[in-house]
Amino acid sequence: MREFVENLDKKLTSITLMPEMYPESEMKSGVRSCLLTKHNALYYRVINNEIEIEAIEIITIFDNRQDSNKLKL
């Protein structure tokens, strides 16, 4: 569990520094996915205003072993 939390923290830091570094999800435009572990992916959205990034919205952490139809973005 500790390793997962440390990895999550590293990924969130990298998203904060470079929010568009991870690819857009094929499932929904504007949503990006970041592989946390071989079994888990983080889905997030970058919220911009006209000048700068306003926020990063974490949508879900999804267990990739589940049926992808259960993923609601």
Domains of the chain: 2-65 (3.30.2310.20)
Distances (CA, A) of 70 to 8, 27, 47, 66, 67: 22, 12, 24, 7, 6
The H-or-E segment that residue 24 falls in is none
Q: List pLDDT tens digits, range 7-58.
A: 999 999 999 999 999 999 988 999 999 999 999 999 999 998 877 778 999 9
Phi-psi region of 39 (alpha: psi -120 to 50; beta: other; left: phi over 0): alpha
Model's pTM, two decimal places? Answer: 0.88
